[in-house]
Structure 1
Amino acid sequence: MKRRSATHAQALLIGGRAGVGKSTVGWEVSARLRAAEVAHAVIEGDFMGQVHPAPEGDPHRASVTERNLRAVWGNYVELGYRRLVYTNTVSVLAESASLFERAMGADVRLVRVLLTATDETTARRLKGREIGSELEHELKNSAYKARLLDERAPADTVRVATDDRAVIDIAREIVAATGWLAAEP
């Protein structure tokens, strides 16, 4: 792969409440991009700040997340990548833009996609995956985050419902929103 500069980085931010399908959709988006031979990297944002205890002065682990994103993205840039698929609950919020600008460059182009689903759908999905002690916490937190995201997602955020839809169809809609299948520059 030919090396490219860090400029003109593009990030597809897939956000949404717990149980909405971010990871599943993110991997299907990646599969569609691979099939079209579109170079990209994928990062599960939840893992970028997963430390305990939180560093002193950083209760939400934002500095850890930023440091890790900057380091991982830097490695991808050295290998020539300039497109990122990033999944994380609140990544679509306006205040997250500065994190991506600092980690990926001030001229990064952000495409925000907010996945949505009903309480019933997300509860069913969470009950299927949370087999440990976190189910009740995840259910409450998911409902809270759904309200927060609905109220605070920027106007340019593409909202995509995931209830009773095939992952392939959801991913097709999201990839179309990126414009990444258009002719390469």
Structure 2
Amino acid sequence: MKNTLKVLFALIVIIIISVLVLLNQHDKQNKTSDSGGKDTVQEKKKSDQQKAEEFADKMKPKIEEDLYEMDIHHFIKNITFKKEVTISPMGYIVVEGYINDEPEKFNFSASLKYRTNEISSMSYSYELSIRFRDWEKYKDEPQLKENFLKSLSKKEREQYLKDIGEKE
């Protein structure tokens, strides 16, 4: 009978200790939520989108520098960046924009590498890329430029020649 009472007493003590531990653990979880522990830390962390937007803002001068470097004919009057910044599935931060207030005609896109702080690649609309074309590279083949100019309408040809500084 004494052994049975000892075993029963030990079981009761184990149950009481287990209940106290569970209650203590539950209280700790409630305190971190009530005092702002976990939730505040998560709120303070910037989202990936916010980090991407801040990084894009930091890199915009570099993008502008690259565009002006490509602009051998001094065609660019102004550069406008779209507000939307996206993160590609490959993790690149993509910034888009346009030149000379012509979003449909002279647009560009820059893919940025967050970890290395560099421009991974730049792409341009066809209309913009031909404004960056260096015809001096084709001086041995003048027919290429002539054929290209012939492919344009008279209005487009005049505008193109004006944009590259060959006609005023």
Alignment TM-score, normalising by the size of structure 1: 0.26
The higher relative CO (CA closer than 8 Å, separation ≥ 6) is in 1
- TM-score between the two structures when normalised by the length of structure 2: 0.27
Larger radius of gyration: 2
Greater percentage in helix: 2
